[in-house]
């Protein structure tokens, strides 16, 4: 079994990931391929030292303008370098997702062998949080990233979350499985031979998981399913908040966002000078 993930400054969660792989290795042949992108907190060293993890240098991702394009390129690079496997687990590494019991994970993997789906994705509590990666006949959030990015007024920004994002998160927090075209929510398992034929790149400015899962839907004619009982902890920054909590979180994130914009502007300026 193969795990694929991108990591940047994920050091607090790597030991838990490594422990999970150690536990799982007593039941399955496991390996993880992790693209590490310029971490400053020791993530690279932890990945290099881990027994079941192969670290790949993906610092080249920083040169790609646009978060969606950057993530798509990184995921596609991992897909192309993944060893052949009957099951592929795509995962995020910036949350406590591997606190789940190994038995729960193995149950989910078993669904791929008994059901007519190309993948199974996780849900979360207290709320389902990953709207950008979700698409079904009833819900689509393809314009959400643009609306978030283009909303400058802080009160309008909060209203967008209050009136659009938070109600959708509550609606998708279901006690029953949800069949869909695309989902991720921190972790998803795929049939390995099918996963190898998909692609994360091609569609402009939409979530890379939507692009990829659409490609597998078109290839197989199947859907994927969000497993209502595969519950991962929701990262606290993604959950519904009142105005006070929302403003406090934005103020906490503001210095990092300003630094990212500064680096992005410097890169553009450097390219212009060199042209």
The answer on 99 and 80 residing in a single domain is yes
The answer on 113 and 73 residing in a single domain is yes
Q: What is residue 225's predicted lDDT score, i.e. its pLDDT?
A: 98
Rg (CA), the chain: 19
The answer on 103 and 197 residing in a single domain is yes
Is the bond preceding 126 in cis, omega lying within 30 degrees of 0? yes
Q: What's the number of domains the chain is made of?
A: 2
The answer on 182 and 270 residing in a single domain is no
The model's pTM: 0.86
Partners of 123 in beta bridges: 231
3-state class of 56 per DSSP? strand
Sheet containing 2-7: which strands, arranged edge to edge?
A: 53-57, 31-36, 2-7, 87-92, 187-191, 117-125, 223-233, 178-180
Helices (H) and strands (E) in the chain, counts: 10, 8
**CATH number of the domain residue 169 falls in:** 3.90.550.10
The answer on 274 and 254 residing in a single domain is yes
3-state helix, strand, coil in the chain (%, to 5): 50, 20, 30
The answer on 123 and 236 residing in a single domain is yes
Q: What is residue 148's predicted lDDT score, i.e. its pLDDT?
A: 84
Q: What is residue 93's predicted lDDT score, i.e. its pLDDT?
A: 96
Q: What is residue 152's predicted lDDT score, i.e. its pLDDT?
A: 77
The answer on 225 and 118 residing in a single domain is yes
- Residue 188 Cα distances to 50, 151, 168, 232, angstroms: 22, 31, 20, 11
Q: Are 213 and 222 in contact (CB under 8 A)?
A: no
How far apart are the C-alpha atoms of 85 and 104, rounded to whole Å?
A: 20
- Residue 17 Cα distances to 36, 90, 102, 116, 245, angstroms: 15, 13, 11, 29, 30
Q: Which of 32, 31, 36 is nearest to 11 (CA)?
A: 36
Enumerate the H helices of 82-134 as residue ranges: 102-114
The answer on 193 and 88 residing in a single domain is yes
CB-count exposure of residue 156 (10 Å: 0-12, 13-18, 19+): exposed
The answer on 147 and 28 residing in a single domain is yes
The answer on 231 and 261 residing in a single domain is no
Q: What is residue 262's predicted lDDT score, i.e. its pLDDT?
A: 46
Neighbours of 271 (CB within 10 A): 11
3-state class of 140 per DSSP? strand
Q: What is residue 151's predicted lDDT score, i.e. its pLDDT?
A: 80
How far apart are the C-alpha atoms of 111 and 117, rounded to whole Å?
A: 8
The answer on 263 and 233 residing in a single domain is no
Q: What is residue 246's predicted lDDT score, i.e. its pLDDT?
A: 61
Buried b (16+ CB within 10 A) or exposed e, 62-95: eeeeeebebbbbbbbbbbeebeebebbbbbbbbb
Give residue 231's domain range. 2-240
pLDDT 10s per residue in the chain (275 long)? 999 999 999 999 999 999 999 999 999 999 999 999 999 999 999 999 999 999 999 999 999 988 899 999 999 999 999 999 999 999 999 988 999 999 999 999 999 999 999 999 999 999 999 999 999 998 899 888 888 888 878 888 889 989 999 999 999 998 999 999 999 999 999 999 999 999 999 877 899 999 999 999 999 999 999 999 999 998 776 556 666 666 665 555 554 544 444 444 444 333 333 33
The answer on 228 and 267 residing in a single domain is no
């Amino acid at each position: 079994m193969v795990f694929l993930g991108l990591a940047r400054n994920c050091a607090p969660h790597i030991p838990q990931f490594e422990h999970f792989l150690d536990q799982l290795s007593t039941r399955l042949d496991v390996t993880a391929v992790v693209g590490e992108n310029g971490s400053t907190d020791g993530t690279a060293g932890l990945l290099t030292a881990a027994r079941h993890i192969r670290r790949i240098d993906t610092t080249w991702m920083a040169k790609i303008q646009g978060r969606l394009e950057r993530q798509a390129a990184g995921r596609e690079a991992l897909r192309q370098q993944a060893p052949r496997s009957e099951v592929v687990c795509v995962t995020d590494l910036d949350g406590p997702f591997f606190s789940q019991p190994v038995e729960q994970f193995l149950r989910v993997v078993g669904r791929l062998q008994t059901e007519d789906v190309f993948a199974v994705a996780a849900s979360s509590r207290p709320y389902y949080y990953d709207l950008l990666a979700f698409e079904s006949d009833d819900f689509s959030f393809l314009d959400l990233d643009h609306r978030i990015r283009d909303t400058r007024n802080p009160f309008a920004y909060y209203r967008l979350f209050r009136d659009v994002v938070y109600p959708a998160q509550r609606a998708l927090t279901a006690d029953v499985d949800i069949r869909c075209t695309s989902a991720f929510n921190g972790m998803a398992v795929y049939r390995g031979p099918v996963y190898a034929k998909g692609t994360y790149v091609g569609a402009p400015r939409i979530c890379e998981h939507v692009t990829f899962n659409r490609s597998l839907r078109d290839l197989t004619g199947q859907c994927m399913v969000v497993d209502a009982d595969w519950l991962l902890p929701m990262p606290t920054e993604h959950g519904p908040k009142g105005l006070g909590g929302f403003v406090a979180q934005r103020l906490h994130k503001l210095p990092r966002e300003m630094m990212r914009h500064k680096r992005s502007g410097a890169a553009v300026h450097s390219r212009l000078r060199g042209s």
